[in-house]
Structure 1
Amino acid sequence: MNRRLAASAAALVVLLAGCGGYDPTVVPEPAASSAAPADPPDCENDGSQLRSFEPTGDVTQLPGVEAIRKRGRLVAGVAADVFLLSSRDPQNPQRLQGFDIDMVNAIAAKIFGTSQDKVTFRVITAAERIPLLQSGEIDIVARNMTITCDRWEQIAFSQVYFDAGQGVLTGVGSGIDSVADLAGRRVCASAGTTSIANIQEIAPEAIPVSAPDNSTCMVRFQNGEADAVTGDDTVLAGLAAQDPYSRVLPIDPLSDEPYGIGVSAENRDLVELVNRTLEDLRRDGGWEESYDRWFAEVLGPATQPEPVYGR
């Protein structure tokens, strides 16, 4: 479960922190679809929140999709500093790469027949995801966004495209091989998240350490100020892939984090197209190919989540 370049801690900080200056192209707001806003019935975060809109007929001709095609570009909100999911190519900083980028390109190809020069990638923060969808400034969000009932009240979601979960990163040879081994150890997590609370519920003797974000936690880990880092396993995989002295523990997830592609609640048409795209990726093996390229080495094998419809 180890890997990556023997880069220094300083190099990691530069890679993770130096991704904020992206100036996206401003594009016109797409015409609103005539479809009714998403209105999730009886949503209790018990699995019912995973229901999405089933694609029917030729989804490429739906009004909400046609409006994007006429504009000529799909506008996608993404990260630029989550290695393996979405980050800048070290060889070409203007180019983004990762699993989420593969998903966006597949969606664009479904709309336009190609993704070449058909996507405007807008680098956004987690806090900007919902407001920018609601304002119409972006069409979709592919930025490790967990599907929840509260979020369904504000936007719509595709089917689950990635089953993430909370994991633990620690040092090779640290003696930490399970959650039980975290007793008396310092575990860092991003402030404002539930990660520390989840760890303390399972390993109450763990010592919580807070940091502004995951990259800062990683720096504290590398500086010996924390014995482990906890957060989404997708994020931890990216951190571990850059530090040969760390690894993600092969444990069951401490929480379920089902990621969905976010779409405006007014554009059910686009949700259906995204879901059809994901179904096509299941049939032709595109999802598995992307996962194996980015995550299999660190997180092990996985299969594409099955869709849940009925909304």
Structure 2
Amino acid sequence: MKKLIPLAATTALLLTACGNANYAATEIPARPQASATSAAPAAPATCTKEEKATELQSYAPPEGPLPAPGQMPAGSTMADISKRGRLIAGVSADSLHLGARNPLTGAIEGFDIDMVKAVATAIFGTWVGHLELRVISSPQRIPLLEEGKVDIVARNMTINCERWKRIAFSAEYYRSGQKTLVQRDSTATSLTQLSGKTICAPAGSTSLDNLKKANPQIKAVTADTDTGCLVLFQQGKADGISGDDTVLAGDAAQDPYAKVLDERISDEPYGLGINKGQKDFVQFVNGVLEQMKQVQPGQKQSDWMASYNKWLGQDLGKAVAPTPQYGRQ
């Protein structure tokens, strides 16, 4: 089958080529931020049955209204961010509709980006000039939070109790699911029919773990980014890609010779990653997410719904904002 290699390859080039634009226009450094500890992720910690049952629970937001922008409580994590003058967020730049660089403007945009824009706006009154987006890979998400090099991660990150042992999460802000992308002429309808095939999943992701569990007979390969998997697929070095339906919808939009199988092998609840020692920031972020999910006076729809409809609704259909689960102490 003829493949359209230039699509993903062009995207990969844009990640570097657009990075030298004016900071005020893009607010994004040129390349993914390296981390000495991110190359080899630590083995996941084991969880008890009780921990698994409460893994979606986060810290309840403080009672009453959030502090006004520019008036963060003294000594709080938010006050430190306010004093610095910007919120530093780790994001993707190659996940179409979630976090991807606009080839015309050089700015990174998408559903995940709207989440951190809302957090920055709540702290500063506006996100413009106060949001620094750092492009990171999947394996870098947890180490960079632990090292304090980013304040928050918005990179289609699945909440689970193993990760809770290293970092903290906001309440769930979107429920995705893992599916598989294959060549359009493939007769496969499920992973069980892909035994012996080479399937790519991002390194350091739950997608890779789920893929291996779903069919151990699959030859799993990895790439640091979603675009890396798409490049391997378009070069014929991978027979398919396994990942979140949100990401695969963007991949399929870039390659007319690809399709996404209907089979869903897991639920992937997305949370915003935050340093484990910053409970106050988690509570604040959860308050921001609560506001985003509510229809404010003068609005026809909530900010969350407006963002979903703009970026994901056309490909994934109707959705409702997840109900937050609290109870973590």
Please indicate the TM-score interval, normalised by the length of the shorter structure. 0.7 to 0.9
Matched, 1:118 2:130: yes
8 Å Cα contact 1:161-1:305 kept in structure 2: yes
Shift of 1:43: 7.4
TM-score after normalising by structure 2: 0.76
8 Å Cα contact 1:43-1:149 kept in structure 2: no
Shift of 1:91: 0.5
Could you say which residue in structure 2 is the equivalent of 1:277?
A: 288
Cα distance in structure 2, aligned partners of 1:208 and 1:242: 24
8 Å Cα contact 2:55-2:161 kept in structure 1: yes
> Deviation string for 1:251-304 (max 9, x for gaps)?
33x122222111122222211121111111111222122122222233332221
8 Å Cα contact 1:77-1:121 kept in structure 2: yes
Matched, 1:8 2:20: no
Could you say which residue in structure 1 is the equivalent of 2:308?
A: 291
1:218–1:128 CA distance, 2 compared to 1 (3 A): closer
TM-score after normalising by structure 1: 0.80
- Amino acid in the other structure paired with 1:160: E
> Deviation string for 1:81-132 (max 9, x for gaps)?
2222111111012x11111111111111111222121111122222332333
Matched, 1:212 2:223: yes
What's the secondary structure of 1:219's corresponding residue?
helix
What's the secondary structure of 1:150's corresponding residue?
helix
Cα distance in structure 2, aligned partners of 1:202 and 1:16: 30
Cα distance in structure 2, aligned partners of 1:120 and 1:107: 12
Could you say which residue in structure 1 is the equivalent of 2:43?
A: none
Query: Structure 2 unaligned runs (5+)?
Result: 20-27, 31-46, 296-301
8 Å Cα contact 1:17-1:81 kept in structure 2: no
Matched, 1:91 2:104: yes
> Deviation string for 1:163-210 (max 9, x for gaps)?
222111123343334445535655333456564664465456x64252
Computed over aligned residues only, the root mean square deviation of the Cα atoms, in angstroms, reads 2.8
> Deviation string for 1:14-62 (max 9, x for gaps)?
20354255537xxxxxxxxxxxxxxxx9775524111111112343243
**Counterparts of residues 19-58 of structure 1 (less than 5 Å):** 19-20=15-16, 23=29, 44=50, 46-56=52-62, 57-58=64-65
**Counterparts of residues 202-281 of structure 1 (less than 5 Å):** 202=214, 207-213=218-224, 214-252=226-264, 254-281=265-292
8 Å Cα contact 1:42-1:48 kept in structure 2: no
Matched, 1:169 2:169: no
Identity within the alignment, %: 43
Query: Structure 1 unaligned runs (5+)?
Result: 1-6, 25-40
8 Å Cα contact 2:90-2:150 kept in structure 1: yes
2:152 to 134, 140, 147: 140
Could you say which residue in structure 2 is the equivalent of 1:300?
A: 317
Cα distance in structure 1, aligned partners of 2:99 and 2:209: 27
1:132–1:190 CA distance, 2 compared to 1 (3 A): closer
